[in-house]
Amino acid sequence: MNTRTDFIGDIVAEDFRTAAIFKNHGIDFCCKGGRTIEDACEAKKLNTEQIYEEIQNLPKSDGNSIDFNSWPLDLLADYVEKTHHRYIEEKTPIIEAFLDKLCKVHGERHPELFEVRALFNASAKDLGAHLKKEELILFPFIKNMVKAQIDGSALMQPSFGTVENPVNMMKHEHTVEGERLRKIAEITDEYNPPTDACNTYRVAFAMLQDFENDLHKHIHLENNILFPKSIKLEKEFAAES
């Protein structure tokens, strides 16, 4: 890993502990992972050397962290679906119910809650369709590529042409959802409840923050590992034909 020349997404793929450093500095490592640290710092007027130093000072890995970068693509696709897709499906209705209650009880004093609810509801609707496109179209093709590679068989041409087409669509949708959640974080003062907040208020904000954190890891695994490796694998089939 060369922190001065590698893209941020590749740095996080190599060592996910660096994600916390980028997050603390407000640097997007998932949707905008295709930048160097210098480029990201220049855009946000940050001290590049400080970030290099923080990464350099990370303790040696104890070997217990998961090396997703080394996983087979079919296993990684299954992991994303069974971990992050299920998380979204399980948490979304719970958060929606909490936000409905907050708007009803606290909306008069805190009208910004209505905007938070509208943004989250829009995200929930679009993410539902997004997950199905991955589960029914993109992920099955990735798994077929892995199977064909193992079997040494020919790869069936997909209806969408090349894997880059659905990948580009998924990455665009990731960017849209990332922007929505950034807006929610901004409105909620980075999920800090007001002084008059009740326990429901505090729990709702904590759940929103967890939702954003999980989505960041979810998008990172796809944008920075699963998608580029799938594109590379498809090109290997093309080179052999």
Q: Which of 31, 7, 3 is nearest to 216 (CA)?
A: 31
Helix (H, G, I), strand (E, B) or coil at 193: coil
pLDDT of residue 66: 84
Are the C-beta atoms of 151 and 79 separated by less than 8 Å?
no
pLDDT of residue 62: 57
pLDDT tens for each residue of 172-190: 999 999 999 999 999 999 9
pLDDT of residue 87: 97
pLDDT of residue 164: 96
Give the CA distances from residue 188 to residues 19, 65, 134, 173, 215, in Å, rounded to whole numbers and listed in that order.
22, 31, 30, 23, 18
Give the contacts of 56 (CB within 8 A, at least 6 positions apart): 3
Give CA–CA dist 81/76, Å, rounded: 9
Whole-prediction pTM value? 0.86
pLDDT of residue 37: 94
Q: Which portions of the chain are predicted below pLDDT 70?
A: 1, 61-64, 241
Give CA–CA dist 219/10, Å, rounded: 13
Neighbours of 97 (CB within 10 A): 11
pLDDT tens for each residue of 100-141: 999 999 999 999 999 999 999 999 999 999 999 999 999 999
Are the C-beta atoms of 69 and 228 separated by less than 8 Å?
no
